[in-house]
Structure 1
Amino acid sequence: MNVSLLLILLLVGAFATYLAGDKLASKVALFFSLAVLGCSIVLLNHFNAGENISFINQWISQPNISFALQADGLSLAMLLLTTALTPLIIFSSFGNEYKNAKSFYALILFMAFAMAGTFLAADGLLYYIFWELSLIPIYFIALLWGNGDAEERKTAVVKFFIYTLAGSLFMLVAFIYLYQRAGSLLIDDLYKLDLTASEQLWIFLAFFLAYAIKIPIIPFHTWQAKVYQKAPTVGTMLLSGIMLKMGLYSVIRWQLPIAPLAAKQYMFVFIALGIAGVIYGSIVALRQKDLKKLLAYSSLAHVGLIAAGAYTLTLDGLRGAVLQMIAHGFVVVGLFFAAEIIFRRYDTRTISEMGGIRSQSPKFTSMFMILVLASVALPSTFNFVGEFTVLYSLSQINIWFAILGGTTIILGAYYMLKMFQHVMLGETNKKIFADVTLNEGLTMVIIVAVLFFFGMYPKPIIDLITPSLENILTQINRN
């Protein structure tokens, strides 16, 4: 199967959704997103059968740029995350009404197209184009369909756009320099470059600025909480569930193998930044009164731990980071969707104005509790597998890194359970909390099922990603 067909299908789906009109847009978008998920599974079967999943064609002769797509186990894992979460996110939105729905759902599919392209691109310029394309739809989704004061929303979204774009320009400069050295931007050619320690440091830092903003890593996180709060829940799910994984994936795929000397020399600095994000995000989450902002800072803490794991440059660290990326994607989408379900009934995101949901909707309460426990890495959930592996890798570098990184579990358990107590227990809100609909319940059940299945049996994902990570680690250790 030609891997480019998957991207074409997403692009065609975006246009078809727009042309379908407002009434049919959501259903057409869901159909195409499910079709793309099916294509991803077919690609996975071809890969498991030993086929080479790639598409390379000369795109621009001067400079020498190729339209190169390539899928190994790591790329396929992130592609499956993208194509599995996209229909879930679309389906979860069926309980809302959107003005100009055809544009809204078309932008979601276009964003999925750009993110999938980022995970598959094997040429630096093509990768950069997909990377930047993903920024356009989320800008409009957050700006036009966001919530709260229009001026505050505009300020937050414009800051996010300019901040992210500016960081990416440093990455573009790095690619231009690498092209001057290699005469090509194919990833295999960039891996073969013999760069000096000084060159690697500047390349590493240029990539780091782009990735640290996107992930985000402290102190480049200032855009995150406000945008998560002001964006519509669908936009927040796309940002937290998939888009930030682009930065984490890129650290492993592009930054570490191309500039391994700098990664080794300054390993402790970047691990420390990741762990600082864990502690900072957890402490700030404790003080939040808005449910979406609390979940935003919780996400900041979790991705800080993932980044720290990736920068350990160990197989356990890389593997734990990827496992946690996937687990975090499902958990954070589930938690933001739960917040949206509450908002649909109470018309508020202020935690103090909630309460008493357990007595009115025990089914929803049970599913929300499972998501909370998964978020704090309860054993038997998917998050436990990833976080335990990351913490183990940190202990191999320095036991204090593991101890400090482990605060995400301790503090996370405190603020998440405290939030659950205020939101679900206590006195009943004056407004009636209607039980979950079939659409809402099915979305939650699917997410919970994924978290339990891979929490109990992560072997399929581990087997998929390990050979790719071993190859990347070999590249990192070549010097």
Structure 2
Amino acid sequence: MLTLILILLPIAAGIVTLMAGERMARQLALVGSLAALGAAVAVWLQFDPAAGTQFAYKYAWIRSLGINFAGGIDGISLILVLLTTFLTPLIMLSAFRHDYRKPGSFYSLILFMEAALIGVFTATDAFLFYLFFEAALIPVYFLAAVWGGENRLKVTLKFFIYTIFGSLFMLVALVYLYYQTPGTHTSDITAFYNLNLSAGQQGFIFWAFFIAFAIKMPLFPFHTWQPDTYTESPTPATMLLSGIMLKMGVYGLIRLLLPIVPLGMQNWGMLAMILSIIGIIYGSIIAIQQNDMKRLIAYSSFAHVGLMAAGVFSTSLNGLQGALIQMLAHGINVIGLFYISDLIYSRTKTRYLDQLGGISQTSPHLSVYFMILLLGSVALPLTNGFVGEFLLLSGVFEFNGKLAAIAGLTIILGSVYMLRLFQKSMFGPKGKLVEGFHDLTAGERAVLLPLIIMVFWIGIYPNTFLKLTEPAVNQLLQIVTN
């Protein structure tokens, strides 16, 4: 029942927040998100990595069709549930600096999205997975469309069309798989793992899933919605999109695509790997050229997710473990970087690097926090990004050494655009807009300090999280290779 409680807590908190009015909306939303974090920690403390799926629930949903409202948590699910519940309260706190109109609606949408994301990561029924996958789109659409920038309507419409288009491919694939199950049809995901599909059938399913998940992450060439949406959305929505929502696509590759269509992977995995690596290089080169801080971080996120996907398509233990730990690390780093860009914008009213400079002269604490998050993002040893990138590149090398050499350029290119971001904003002569820039407040440190702790925790003690996922990953690889 704990899994169901994890989903219901944010929904209940969202409803209460929506009804509470403007005065108490922020406090109630924060309490609701902290309650969900507490439930996730309770699951973590009771979780046995070797025991498979735990804390399961199952209720008849559409009984005549064998479709159930069912979920549970294994090691792969748990790492993403912990990420979601850890980041959501910090996103709430980061939003407290702004007086968003209709705060009840604003904060309740964040909570509803949290519930949908947890639902995606814990669903064991394919159609329930699809329901939550689509439900997560609705809150972020309204967050961007109502509280976004000047071009928000155009940008959010593009985002909505892209993601709905991709999801239709997944729905077609799920319906097809449902009718391939023998006897009384079922939509249980594990039943799909045991289907004996031909190479042609698996090729069709592979591309249907790939397009759906590649758009959500996004991967090259399905990425054109991402930079504009990240830039125009209010910063909390951008944090949700980059820190958690893109992980749904990587999770979908791991949970559905790999074990259901192993022959499809054999036939088309190389092409998917090449597209992922193109995205790494392409996104990094464009990030180097950006003048807008928020847009630069958006392209860096695009490059990072390409490496995660490449690790998944390597179908190796190192690649999959690297993808999972990197999802955790990337979520932490990118949330912190977007928050710092928002802090700088709120003080200077600009995000353009050529108008900044010299911030470190009056804000030493901000500079230190910024540098730590940046070093985690560029995979400095003993930071969270190093563990994931090392495992990912190791997995890609097992798949193909030449591709690994190209993918490895992410280390150099990532350092270039991130250090350029830091140098242009923190060092040099003070820009006119930086006059009067003040250091971090206590509330701003409360958001950044937990992120900094996690940067070092994952970097120094990665086994805390790798041991959670390894049994589930090994079990998945047995399905893929058999």
On whether the aligned pair clears a TM of 0.5, the verdict is yes
> What residue identity is the alignment partner of 2:459?
G
SS at match of 1:3: helix
Name the structure 1 match of 2:39: 39
Matches within 5 A, 1:35-434: 35-48=35-48, 52-147=54-149, 149=150, 152-182=151-181, 183-430=185-432, 431-434=435-438
SS at match of 1:62: helix
Distance 1:170 1:62 in 2: 24
> What residue identity is the alignment partner of 2:29?
A
Name the structure 1 match of 2:456: 452
Tell me by how many angstroms 1:399 deviates: 1.5
> What residue identity is the alignment partner of 2:296?
L
TM-score by length of 1: 0.98
Q: Write the deviation string for residues 374-431 of structure 1: whole angstroms up to 9, x where unpaired.
A: 1110000011000001101111122211211111110110111111111001111333
Q: Write the deviation string for residues 298-326 of structure 1: whole angstroms up to 9, x where unpaired.
A: 11111000000000011111101111111
Bigger drift between 45-54 and 288-297 goes to 45-54
Name the structure 1 match of 2:465: 461
Bigger drift between 438-447 and 356-365 goes to 438-447
Q: Write the deviation string for residues 268-309 of structure 1: whole angstroms up to 9, x where unpaired.
A: 111111110000000001111111000000111110000000
Tell me by how many angstroms 1:48 deviates: 2.7
Question: Residue 2 of structure 2 contacts residue 39 of structure 2 at CA under 8 Å; is this kept in 1?
Answer: no
Q: Write the deviation string for residues 49-103 of structure 1: whole angstroms up to 9, x where unpaired.
A: 9583210121111221011101101101111110000011111111111000100
> What residue identity is the alignment partner of 1:392?
S
> What residue identity is the alignment partner of 1:17?
T
Tell me by how many angstroms 1:46 deviates: 2.2
Distance 1:255 1:399 in 2: 24
Distance 2:321 2:235 in 1: 29
1:471 alignment partner, one of 464, 471, 475: 475
| Unpaired stretches in structure 1, ≥5 consecutive residues | none
Paired residues in the alignment total: 475
> What residue identity is the alignment partner of 2:250?
L
> What residue identity is the alignment partner of 2:202?
Q
Distance 1:274 1:27 in 2: 41
| Unpaired stretches in structure 2, ≥5 consecutive residues | none
Tell me by how many angstroms 1:204 deviates: 0.9
SS at match of 2:64: coil
Name the structure 1 match of 2:12: 12
Distance 2:259 2:155 in 1: 34
Name the structure 2 match of 1:21: 21
Tell me by how many angstroms 1:257 deviates: 0.5
Tell me by how many angstroms 1:2 deviates: 3.4
SS at match of 1:56: strand
Distance 1:56 1:167 in 2: 28
Distance 1:160 1:45 in 2: 38
Distance 1:38 1:30 in 2: 12
> What residue identity is the alignment partner of 2:351?
R
Question: Residue 384 of structure 2 contacts residue 459 of structure 2 at CA under 8 Å; is this kept in 1?
Answer: yes
TM-score by length of 2: 0.97
SS at match of 1:95: coil
> What residue identity is the alignment partner of 1:465?
T
Tell me by how many angstroms 1:22 deviates: 1.3
SS at match of 2:402: helix
> What residue identity is the alignment partner of 2:353?
I
Q: Write the deviation string for residues 345-364 of structure 1: whole angstroms up to 9, x where unpaired.
A: 00111111111110010010
> What residue identity is the alignment partner of 2:26?
S
> What residue identity is the alignment partner of 1:261?
L
Tell me by how many angstroms 1:188 deviates: 1.4
Distance 1:29 1:260 in 2: 43
> What residue identity is the alignment partner of 2:314?
T
Distance 1:381 1:265 in 2: 36
2:443 alignment partner, one of 433, 439, 444: 439
Distance 1:249 1:383 in 2: 18
Distance 1:353 1:446 in 2: 30
User: Percent same amino acid among aligned pairs?
Assistant: 45
SS at match of 2:96: helix
Distance 2:267 2:436 in 1: 58
Tell me by how many angstroms 1:24 deviates: 1.2
Distance 1:128 1:266 in 2: 24
Distance 2:41 2:446 in 1: 21
Distance 1:398 1:260 in 2: 18
Tell me by how many angstroms 1:45 deviates: 2.0
